[in-house]
Structure 1
Amino acid sequence: MTKKKGNTGTKVSLQEAKKAIRMKPNGLRRLTLSNMGITIFPPCIFKLTNMDELDLSRNQIEKLPDNIGKLPSLRWLDLHSNNLESVPESIGKLVDLTYLNLSNNRLTSSGLPTSLASLTNLTTLNLGLNKLESLLPTMVPGESLQELGLFDNLFTSLPDFVIELCDLARVNVKRNPLQLIDIEDEDDVYLIHKERLCDNCQKICKDPGGEQLKECVIKTFEGERSYSGLITPNSVAAANQDVWRVKKIEHYQSFESSI
């Protein structure tokens, strides 16, 4: 990869991008351009026809191209730890996406497009470590979503539509100023629908209304399946955890000073 003078960051050529594609054991082809000082989304990526997954995490990208939807073969997209303030509407055209990580950016609620709801194959959506205050029901795909990361944001209440997502198994809302749920000491956060609880779990959960248990937050039980991608944005880059922790602490301190 070549460095350009000034503040333009690293420039990635088409040839270099092709060489960086690796075949995974499951047969999918991933292009990894993580932690390279990239400031502008590499336009050469649009010329690649043999790419299923794209990792541009831990760079300094401030804006995604408006035609990001012209990568229809993408199934997995990791953009965590960049400087994104918004996401273009065309991302809704990436209908084959099953995984989308936008954590540790500068996203606000107004910067998220309603076209996210078009990603009906999405099973994991990570929006943690941003500046989100709310989410509209029209922003989140509901048909297949199983994991939702909302940690380290500015939510004062859990989005109402969350309990209506029938396939949603895990929600991480740690370190938000939630008024109704105290989760600071929890290791993991689970949103459980009543019909999915065993008798013992229902006894553990409290029913504030005394009549119906719509949802609850419980500790991880021993042997529970791990969802590391919803806890740390660097789930695919453990070697750089120290950098992530510094960013997380700075973000949280900034949030505390604002309330």
Structure 2
Amino acid sequence: MSKSKKLTLKMVKKAVKITMDGRQRLDLSNMGIATFPKCLLKMTNVDELDLSRNLLRKLPEFIGNLSSLRCLDLHSNKLQALPNTFGNLVRLTHLNLSNNCLTSGGLPTTLGSLTCLQSLNLGLNRLDDLPPTMAALTNLQELCLFDNVFKKLPEFVEILTSITKLNADRNPLSYTHRGGTAAQKVLASEVEETLYLATECSLCTTCLGRCKRETQTRRVRGGKVVIERKRKRSYSGLITPNSVAINTQDVWRIEWQKH
């Protein structure tokens, strides 16, 4: 949707739904919104806000006034930076900022104030570092950094012992951490992957055969060995609370690569 949609307070109020656990959820996803709706300031009791798959390039300073938010989904916009007031959202437990245009310089140090965060998705951006103040996020359990440009992971990641899931796939990491913390174990178990593109005619018989074998799976059915093509990879890091990213994640990946 190319045209920006202007929302009124009446429209926003009608979009509020009550979740199974009694929370107020406001879903404004995929509506062509290019400017953060100022009328949201009137929605002081909203617990969950979904503004994913819109056209937002920046967030206003007043976003910090939405202090009741616990879940905020901003994936698949065009955000390049976050305002300092973002750190005022101290009740946030789940934050999805994946598939934007965020750079490390666009992340404020105030992110370290979000100490209630349990899940943070920063995948599919342009990040090569994170603010050291994020070492204060001691309740963080899931951290997604996939598809960025990290050559090494921030040192504080190793001391966040509450992390049980760390996705740093498809980054140009130059080394692997090894140690005893949960984050270190996840890192140590990851295998660095490199992708090379070549036409079949440029490969020798041995290499061509090896490539074909690596894209096939052998299964035994009815006493016979059946060779199957491996299934297309899905990007699970895009699937987070309040997100329907799994449905069109490949489309968003293509759009992101055009930036």
How do 1:107-126 and structure 2 match up within 5 A? 107-126=102-121
Q: 1:230 to 1:160 in 2, by over 3 A?
A: farther
Could you report, residue by residue, the CA deviation over 1:57-93 in whole angstroms, capped at 9, with x for unpaired residues?
Answer: 0001011011111011000000001011100111111
Residue 46 of structure 2 corresponds to 51
- TM-score w.r.t. the length of structure 1 is 0.75
Residues in 2 aligned to 1:241 and 1:194: alpha-carbon distance in whole angstroms:
34
Deviation at 1:247, TM superposition (A): 3.0
- Report whether the alignment pairs 1:194 with 2:180: yes
Q: Say which of 217, 222, 240 aligns to 2:188.
A: 217
Structure 2 counterpart of 1:194, which letter? G
- Report whether the alignment pairs 1:247 with 2:233: no
- Report whether the alignment pairs 1:84 with 2:79: yes
Deviation at 1:245, TM superposition (A): 3.6
Deviation at 1:120, TM superposition (A): 0.7
- Report whether the alignment pairs 1:232 with 2:238: yes
Q: Say which of 33, 36, 58 aligns to 1:38.
A: 33
Deviation at 1:159, TM superposition (A): 1.3
Q: Say which of 68, 72, 88 aligns to 1:73.
A: 68
Deviation at 1:170, TM superposition (A): 1.2
Instruction: Give the secondary-structure state (helix, strand or coil) at the position aligned to 1:10.
Output: coil
Q: 1:81 to 1:233 in 2, by over 3 A?
A: farther
Deviation at 1:166, TM superposition (A): 1.5
Q: Percent of aligned pairs with the same residue?
A: 49
Residue 155 of structure 1 corresponds to 150
Residue 186 of structure 1 corresponds to none
Contact map agreement 2:163 2:182 (CA 8 A) in 1: no
Structure 1 counterpart of 2:47, which letter? D
- Report whether the alignment pairs 1:166 with 2:161: yes
Give ranges in structure 2 of 5+ residues lacking alignment.
191-233
Residues in 1 aligned to 2:156 and 2:87: alpha-carbon distance in whole angstroms:
20
Contact map agreement 2:162 2:182 (CA 8 A) in 1: no
Contact map agreement 2:121 2:237 (CA 8 A) in 1: no
Deviation at 1:234, TM superposition (A): 7.0
Deviation at 1:98, TM superposition (A): 0.2
Give ranges in structure 1 of 5+ residues lacking alignment.
182-190, 198-212, 220-227, 255-259
Contact map agreement 2:165 2:186 (CA 8 A) in 1: no
Q: Which runs of 4+ in 1 moved over 3 A?
A: 213-216
Deviation at 1:243, TM superposition (A): 2.2
Deviates more, 1:237-246 or 1:138-147: 237-246
CA RMSD of aligned residues (A): 2.8
Contact map agreement 2:149 2:172 (CA 8 A) in 1: yes
Instruction: Give the secondary-structure state (helix, strand or coil) at the position aligned to 2:12.
Output: helix
Q: 1:11 to 1:229 in 2, by over 3 A?
A: farther
Q: 1:64 to 1:168 in 2, by over 3 A?
A: same
Matched residue pairs, number?
Answer: 215
- TM-score w.r.t. the length of structure 2 is 0.75
Deviation at 1:28, TM superposition (A): 0.9
Could you report, residue by residue, the CA deviation over 1:154-209 in whole angstroms, capped at 9, with x for unpaired residues?
Answer: 1001211111011111111011001114xxxxxxxxx9862669xxxxxxxxxxxx
- Please identify the structure whose Cα radius of gyration is greater: 2
Contact map agreement 1:193 1:215 (CA 8 A) in 2: no
Residues in 2 aligned to 1:61 and 1:144: alpha-carbon distance in whole angstroms:
29
Deviation at 1:143, TM superposition (A): 1.8
